[in-house]
Every structure is written in structure tokens, then in C-alpha cells.
Chain A
């Protein structure tokens, strides 16, 4: 290769590097930020795209707390890039309180959602109910042996066997922290409260950044017990992994996962179409197979991944307002207790 050719090659590489970054041309693109895995949200986005030819969905995923930081930084830089955000209702309330980030929208059929799931000001559109459960590897732990309650997880028998999410990265685990430290902490302070997390820390609980990673650790057997979300138990079941779940006898915290339309969105009509789709019978019917949660409409049939029906599980609705206002303090108390 002669000198001229080399110089040309370098110039082409350099210019190409810059040009290649131009966003792909598309007439109608909806950008969704969420804490949900690509493979989980894909059935939903594909169905939406099939229903709306000419519309394409770009999905950007991060663990909840990290996603909140991304959105806040974009808002601060005055360059929010998302149209719709998918998080739990506590995180959406947090963003709304701090940045007035969402534009209220009453999705079609939102009145079909259970009353307790609806947003009073229509700041968000409810999507599915996510519950905490004990997820375990059936090749490592037999059904007879598996812990049946949250309290049993603190038993030294399970030392170095359990993984849970770290509130530094995960938004949803705030629901579990509230449930153990505040809800059960009041009713049974001997077993629960912040001391429960001290015992879990002493028991070598492994903190992970996302519930998806915890699911993978449970599946591989590295941490055969995971304090996980229904969505991940459902995903593992959908993939045919050797896992099952337990509904602990103390009950399970249930949080609402939802989508909100960003006020700064440049594609508001598309965003509203997405919100309409999420709450539609078609969208709700896809929830177990996609995002893995329980539908928020009563007129959509549903069974949990282990075959249980809705009325067989004792669900404790989380105090989203408390979590939204106290999550930094709660995270600090959690880390102090766990010692990590």
C-alpha cells in the first residue's frame, strides 16, 4: 500500500467514524427507557410494532436506580432522550416530585385496571404487578428443604447461599427493604426490622446490581436461593430453567410497575399509543410471557409461574410514597445493617 492510499484509508476511517454515529433515519421511532430486560419487553414491543406499522421502538435498559440517575442527568442537561419511561410507581413518583417530569395522560381502558393500581393524576399507566418471592434452584435444593418464610433465610444453614439486590443499583429492592424493615419490623420486631438485614449480612448474603443477575446466579447454582421478583421467576420458567419459587408465609410485598409519558417527549402521540397498548387486553395478556408480572386488569386470566392463582398469595401493597421520599435513607440504613 503506497503512502497516498494509506492516508486515504486513514481519512476514510476517521470520517467514517464520525458519520457512522448519525442516528438511523426513521420516520416514527418511540424511545422507551426501562428497567426491564430486552428479552422481556421484546414480545410487547413487537406486538406494538405489528399493530402500528411504520412505528419502531428503541428500548434502553438499565437497573432502576441507575436509570433514574440517567434520566435525571439528561433532564439536568436539558436533553431528555426518552419518550416513555418504565419503572415502578415509587420511582415515577420520585421523578415527578423532583422534576415534574411526566405529562398526565388517561390511557384508554385505564378504568379497567383495578382501582388501587391507578394513578390519581394519571401520571403513569399501570402495567403489571411485580411481587417478591423466594426463587430457588431445584437441582440444588429440594422442595421439602427450601425455606418457606422470609425469617428462615437468616438461618445460618443458608450461609453463602442467598443473593439479593443492592439498593445502590436496584429500585425495586426498596420495596423489599420497606417490607422487612418497616412493615414486618413493626408487627414482628424480634424477627424482622433492620436486625434482619444484620443477620443476613452475617449470613453472607450476596448483593447484586440487578434482579436479572440474581436469577442467573440462582439458575447456575452459584447462589441457589434468590430474593427475587416474580418477573424473573417467570422468565426462568419460560426458559425452562431448573428453578421454582416459594410464596413466604409472612406474605409478599407487591409493587406496581408502570409506564409514564415524559413531558419533554418529542413523540407524544406515539407515547400515548404505547400507554393505550400497555393497558389494552392484548398488552395485558402478554404481560406474563413478556415482562413476567401479573396483569392489572381483572378481566385478564392469570396464574403464577408455580401454578398458584391470585387469591392464593398474600400480597402486601408497598408504601410507594414512603419509599419515594426515604429511599436514600433506607439505602444507607440497609448498607449499615448488612455491613457492605
Chain B
């Protein structure tokens, strides 16, 4: 540090903020992805052999096709299911709007593999309770079906609530923030409701629509738990199998293919929404208090909302609760087959308590650093007019296109080989922390970016004109105005990190089992279905409770946190 340079002066230098952001992203994103890219392309010299092997392997080709089919199916169905629900909540007087919004948050928070467990118990072809009921009600002359959860469609169904939640949560605020004058002008000019939606509302919604669909698509590409439980051949499973065979070349190539598939969707999204200025709501004015449609339209949306909540929450988690209380799953609903033993076994298990401590710690630490550094990166990208900020922008969004399984392979490759193996991170807390930071950094950056875009720079410019330094302006003007967004980012990352599975399953060590890996282990025979359901319900209830506490804290801190409602 040069003599005589004050702390304020250093912090006022945009280049230093740029350098901090660049180093942060380089360490978390560029090094692992770059290392894995090189690893997949080299073997005693430059070669495409790993990719040739990948595309020559029929099992891997099937896995790729299955991954794409499921992701596309989830994205399309998320739009078809999520759009009417979002419209109903944002623009009608349907009953149960808060219930639907809460259900979306709960679905997002609860791990997808819990739903997979529940749907297997309900829609397993031979013994699924829902199938048994259907066979009895319709007097079907078969011992199997009619539903079969162990199919690609079953996987789509299992992943759908997550996709719908992403889509819904992206769309509702956008629907509310559209200036009603624009739609009213269209109606005054003689356009009908359909034309108005098509020509005015939908174009304004494009970033939110694409953002929601992209998240549903990439989230489905990245999922590990449900295909593992349903025993379906998708790329994340193939990657893990390659690692189990210690075939790092195959794992790297498969990971790169998966990343490229996700990146393609991301590029498409960026291309469609590159003119961010068009979506700015100057001064943060809200239009949420407009009167919504009533009568039959609202009633129809009410029915849709109730059916959705029943299908994704009440029935599956109700079913899991019932199973969790069974002494023996094989004895079914017989008298005397009920107890809390499974809960006692789970709660009394030191391994579960240790995993809970680790998961909460990891999630809290990740949420904190991701929120802080997310703001720094976003500020550099949006506010500081420096060369190369587009690079930071792209680097910060890349993790969204990197499924946890692929990221874990990249980190394993990096930290098992010189020079970074000297850090001794592999198999410990450190490598999980790095993985979590990388996985969720996009959420921190994007949340801050969205908030900064909507926050008119005139406020900060006025502060600077008034003589305040850049740091003081950030501290006194920018951060307070972004408080709600930052609290939201922390909460979002915390609740998403808590049940993280796809990276943890590969990077866990004996002392670093997380809640999700322990649950998957119990499902995989280390306790059985009833115990897994008891654990799942405990996890579900704990996460829900944490969410309520966090939301209450956020409400006090920011004067009210609104997510969807």
C-alpha cells in the first residue's frame, strides 16, 4: 500500500473493487471450470478422446437425451402450471393467494428428493397407495399401475413443483410491477384482454418468463436426488457413476456436456433480456394494489390453487407423515403398527445431529458471504463503468449453468491434484464451503443486480454531488435502499443451501455428512423407508420453522419482506 493513501481513498478506487470481485470469481468459478475443461481435453497432449468416448457410449447418449427431455418437460410444464397460478395470485381476487404463495416458498425450500420419496410411496406401480386406491375404485384387473413413478414422466412430475416455484416467484413481482396505465392504454385503444396480454403484458414479462423457465430448466438438468431414487439414467447420475469408477476423464467430459447444455439456455436468456434498461421501474414505484378480477374467474383460479397445493404439499407430505408413523411399512395400515419410534431413532442419532449442525453452519456461512460478495460484484457490474465488467457479469452467472454434480467433479479434480491439493481441502468442510459458495453466488449477484437496476442512480449521483465519497454513498444511500433485497438474498441462499445434495453427495467426507447426504443414506437402506420419511418430515418441519423465523427477522429488519404475496 502506497504511503499516504488513506483507507477511504483505496475503497474509493473502482479498480480495487473490480480486482476484489475478479479474484473472488476467478477462484470460485474460473479455476475449477477452467481446470476441468483442460482436464477433459488433455491426455498426454490435446485430445477430444474423452468426448469421443462420451458420444460413442450408448448409455451416456441415453443419459443426455433423458436429461434434456426431463429439463425441457419441466420448463414447459412449469410455464403452463406456474403462469396461471402467478396470474391468479397477482391479478385476481382468488381465495387462498397467501396459501399458494406460501406453498411455492415451501416447495422451493423443501428438497426435491423428499417429494421423490413421497411420490414413490404414492405412485409406485405395485404398492403405491394412490395406485392401490385407483385399482380398487375403478376395479382394475391388474396388480400393477396405472401410474408408474419410475419413468421419465415420473421424474418430470417430481421435479415440477420446484420448477413451478422458480417460475411463479419470478413472475408474480413482475406482474405486479407492470404499470397498469400501459395495459389500460391498450384497452382504451380497443384491444381485448387477450390482445392486451399478448401485446403488452407478455413482452413486459419476457425477462421474468425467461428467467423462471431458465431456472426450471437448469434446476431440472442439475437435480441428483430424484433420479437417484427413481433409478433413472440422466447425466448427473452418469457423472457420479464415472466418479465411483474413478474415471475422471469420463466424469469431466460428461460434466462439460451437462454444463454446455445449461449454458445454451443461459445464453438464450441473456440474449433475450440484454436490454435491462427497458425493465427499470423508476423510483421503485409499486403497482401491487390494483383491483383484480373477481367472480367466476377468481373462483376458477381458487380451484386451481387448491388442487395444486393438495398435489404438491398436502397429499405427498401427508403420505410421508403416515409412513413415518408405521412400525413396519410391510404391515401397512394394520392396528398396532403405529409409533413414534422412527422419530426417536432419527432424533436420537448423533450422526443426524452432527449433520444438522454442519448443514446449518454451511448454509449460514454461505448465505452471508454470498450476499456480501454478491453485492460487491453487482455494484462493480452495474455502477462502475470499468472495462471488463461484462466478464465479471458472465462469470457470476456461469454457476447457474453448472450443476452441483459437475461442479463437485471440477472441485475434486482441482483439489486432488497439485498445486491446490496442498491446501488439504478435499474430504473436509473447506471443499464443501467452496462448492456452496460457487453454487449460490449467482443468487447473491443477481438479486443485488436486479435491485441496483431498479434503483435509479440519481440517488447516488445526488449524494456524490453533495460531496459524499463513493464508500459513504454506498453505506448511507445504496445499502439501506437495497436492504430488503439483501435480506431476501441471504434467506434465499440459506434455504437453498440447507438441503443441498448434488455437490455434497460427491464431496462429503466422514466428518462432513450433511442433512441431505444422511437422509439419502437412510433411504439407501441405512434405516429404511419409514425412518427416511420420519427424517424427511423432521427436515421439512425444521426448514419450514427456520424459514418462518428468518422471515420474521427479515420483516423486523426491513419493515416487511414480500415474496409473492
Contact digits for A132-154, partner B, Cβ 8 Å, 1 yes 0 no: 00000101000000000000000
Contact digits for B125-144, partner A, Cβ 8 Å, 1 yes 0 no: 11110000000000000001
Using CB atoms, name the residue of chain A closest to B131.
A222
- How far, in Å, is B440 (CB) from chain A's closest CB? 15
What separation, in Å, do the CA atoms of A42 and B144 have in the docked complex? Answer: 37
Contact A81 B510 (CB under 8 A): yes
Query: How large, as a class, is the contact surface on chain A?
Result: 35 or more
* Chain A contact residues: helix, strand, loop or mixed: mixed
- How far, in Å, is A29 (CB) from chain B's closest CB? 11
Using CB atoms, name the residue of chain A closest to B517.
A62
Contact B368 A10 (CB under 8 A): yes
What separation, in Å, do the CA atoms of A180 and B68 have in the docked complex? Answer: 36
Contact B245 A216 (CB under 8 A): no
Contacting B120 at CB < 8 Å: which of A65, A66, A222, A328? A222
Contacting A239 at CB < 8 Å: which of B144, B150, B328? B328
> Using Cβ atoms and an 8 Å threshold, which residues of chain A touch B523?
213
- Residue A194, interface by CB 8 Å: no
> Using Cβ atoms and an 8 Å threshold, which residues of chain B touch A74?
427, 509
**A-B Cβ contacts below 8 A, count:** 150
Contact A222 B557 (CB under 8 A): no
What separation, in Å, do the CA atoms of A20 and B126 have in the docked complex? Answer: 45
- Residue A16, interface by CB 8 Å: yes
Using CB atoms, name the residue of chain B closest to A32.
B510
- Residue B183, interface by CB 8 Å: no
> Using Cβ atoms and an 8 Å threshold, which residues of chain B touch A14?
364-365, 368
Using CB atoms, name the residue of chain A closest to B126.
A222
- Residue A103, interface by CB 8 Å: no
What separation, in Å, do the CA atoms of A10 and B528 have in the docked complex? Answer: 38
Using CB atoms, name the residue of chain B closest to A10.
B368
Contact A211 B351 (CB under 8 A): no
Contacting B526 at CB < 8 Å: which of A161, A212, A214, A220? A212
Using CB atoms, name the residue of chain A closest to B228.
A209
Using CB atoms, name the residue of chain A closest to B531.
A39
What separation, in Å, do the CA atoms of A224 and B124 have in the docked complex? Answer: 12
Specify which of B245, B360, B421 lies most central, judged by the most chain A CB atoms within 10 Å of its CB.
B245
- Residue B241, interface by CB 8 Å: yes
- Residue B246, interface by CB 8 Å: yes
Using CB atoms, name the residue of chain A closest to B238.
A168
Give the contact stretch, choosing among A46-54, A240-248, A278-286.
A240-248
Contacting A216 at CB < 8 Å: which of B231, B327, B421, B528? B528
Contact B525 A210 (CB under 8 A): yes
- Residue A319, interface by CB 8 Å: no
Given contacts A13-B364, A14-B368, contact A77 B59 (CB under 8 A): no
Given contacts A79-B426, A137-B330, A219-B328, contact A20 B361 (CB under 8 A): yes
What separation, in Å, do the CA atoms of A216 and B331 have in the docked complex? Answer: 12
Given contacts A17-B364, A60-B510, contact A39 B241 (CB under 8 A): no
What separation, in Å, do the CA atoms of A295 and B377 have in the docked complex? Answer: 62
- Residue A257, interface by CB 8 Å: no
> Using Cβ atoms and an 8 Å threshold, which residues of chain B touch A63?
524-525
> Using Cβ atoms and an 8 Å threshold, which residues of chain A touch B524?
63, 209-210, 212-213
- Residue A191, interface by CB 8 Å: no
What separation, in Å, do the CA atoms of A152 and B521 have in the docked complex? Answer: 32
Using CB atoms, name the residue of chain B closest to A160.
B144
- Residue B429, interface by CB 8 Å: yes
Contact A216 B329 (CB under 8 A): yes
Contact residues of B between 92 and 123, Cβ < 8 Å to A: 120-121
- Residue A195, interface by CB 8 Å: no
Given contacts A1-B557, A220-B330, contact A72 B361 (CB under 8 A): no
Contact residues of A between 13 and 28, Cβ < 8 Å to B: 13-14, 16-18, 20-21, 23
> Using Cβ atoms and an 8 Å threshold, which residues of chain B touch A223?
126
Given contacts A17-B364, A208-B231, A242-B331, contact A69 B246 (CB under 8 A): yes
- How far, in Å, is A70 (CB) from chain B's closest CB? 8
Contacting A37 at CB < 8 Å: which of B358, B421, B525? B525
> Using Cβ atoms and an 8 Å threshold, which residues of chain B touch A73?
246, 412, 416, 426-427
Contact A206 B427 (CB under 8 A): no
- Residue B22, interface by CB 8 Å: no
- How far, in Å, is B479 (CB) from chain A's closest CB? 11
Contacting A81 at CB < 8 Å: which of B245, B416, B427? B427
Given contacts A14-B365, A66-B244, A335-B59, contact A240 B511 (CB under 8 A): no
29 A-B residue pairings within 8 Å (CB atoms): A1-B553, A13-B364, A17-B361, A20-B357, A21-B361, A21-B512, A23-B511, A38-B349, A39-B526, A58-B510, A62-B521, A63-B524, A77-B415, A77-B421, A79-B424, A137-B330, A160-B144, A166-B231, A168-B244, A207-B231, A209-B231, A210-B524, A212-B526, A216-B329, A219-B329, A219-B330, A223-B126, A241-B331, A243-B330
Seed contacts A14-B365, A18-B365; 16 additional CB < 8 Å A-B pairs? A17-B362, A18-B429, A21-B358, A23-B511, A37-B525, A38-B349, A38-B351, A58-B510, A63-B525, A69-B245, A73-B416, A137-B330, A212-B526, A216-B528, A219-B528, A243-B330
